[in-house]
Amino acid sequence: MDRRTWVRRGALGLVFAAAAFAAPAIAQHPAPASEPRPENLKVLPKDISRTELIALMGQFTRALGVRCSFCHVTEQEKPDAKNRFALDDKPAKDKARAMMEMTRDINQKYLAQLASREKPAINVQCVTCHRGVSEPRALSDVLAISYEKGGIDSTVARYHRLRDRYYGSASYNFNEVSLSDAANELGKAGHDADALALLALNVEMNPNSAFAKRQHADAVIEQGYLKGGTDAGAAAYRDMKGKYGEAAVNEDMLNQVGYDLLGQGKNDLALAAFKLNVAEHPQSGNAYDSLGEAYALTGDKKQATAAYKKAVELDPKNENAKHSLEELKKKK
């Protein structure tokens, strides 16, 4: 293939993959009379040449990480069929046409109407979303499907397979956020043990991520309180702090655990977490402020007042503690 042919193919691929299917532009390069004409074209220009069509299909296969057989009927599937590529037997072909029309509309009807655009203009292409995979799903969504079908073992196995194949490409985001999102969805659905398994895997796969460690420690500590009570929660805190250090397991985290427990109506457990935070960080006005809020919610006005006063003593600029003290004075 000489350079002129390559440049032409690349330009056509960009035109079509960006869904800028402008028939007049293609009409400048009509198919030679001796060349078989493509059949059953419903979105692409009718006069596109075989060479240009093959180049365009190549763009599609690379964008989706598939072969021609993903949309087209193969010889093995229908050995006696004439012009198998023109057949509409596979639903994927109709989906491809719909996607081509969608990207064309995005580029020509919507992006083109923007008051200001970069130069050269950015156009949507198949690869913009697909990035080398046939289904452009976020990694967390792929893992959720695996979990629904086969549970946690299937989910972990799928993660490793995808990571082995796609790590370093643009297909999936393998940083600490994806596994964290997947774990959060499992937690919301009540699959606490499996959520913890994904968070632990997240630390294993991202050992230098403070975020992954905080997410894991937070969940372990909260589950310690919920499953085992006050002592188990405190033990989980100390275990995680020893494992991940103060940078990950700190005052703010334990404070958040307390508020999470409050949000679940576990007031006694929340009080225990806030008390532990005060014991661990006795010079923190914010820790005492949170403890005062928990006491107030449980109706212990005396203890709430004492905690808020300590918060103001440690931090005279703590306006929330001052306001809360004034509100407590108004109550009988």
Q: Give DSSP secondary structure letters for 226-263.
A: HHH-HHHHHHHHHHHHHHH-TTTSSHHHHHHHHHHHHH
pLDDT of 61 > 70? The answer is yes
| 19: amino acid identity, one letter | A
Per the prediction, the chain carries an average pLDDT of 89
* Phi and psi, residue 102, nearest 5°: -65, -50
Weakest-pLDDT range from 10-14, 246-250, 300-304: 10-14
Q: Please give the share of the chain, as a percent, with pLDDT higher than 70.
A: 89
The confidence score (pLDDT) of residue 36 equals 74
> What are the residues whose beta carbons fall under 8 Å from the beta carbon of 302, sequence distance 6 or more?
none
pLDDT at 29: 56
* 136 has a pLDDT exceeding 90: yes
Q: What is the pLDDT of residue 7?
A: 34
Domains 3-130 and 137-208 equal at CATH topology level:
no
Share of the chain above pLDDT 90, in %: 80
Per-domain boundaries in the chain: 3-130, 137-208
Which CATH class for the 3-130 domain? mainly alpha
pLDDT tens-digit series, residues 71-100:
999 888 888 887 788 999 999 999 999 999
Residue 193 Cα distances to 18, 213, 253, 307, angstroms: 44, 17, 20, 35
Interval 212-221: pLDDT, tens: 999 999 999 9
Cβ proximity of 273 and 293 under 8 Å: no
The token pair at 220 is 């372990």
- Band of residue 12 on the pLDDT scale cut at 50, 70, 90: very low
pTM: 0.81
Q: Which CATH number fits domain 137-208: 2.40.128, 1.10.287, 3.30.530, 1.25.40?
A: 1.25.40
Q: What is the mean pLDDT of residues 100-109?
A: 94
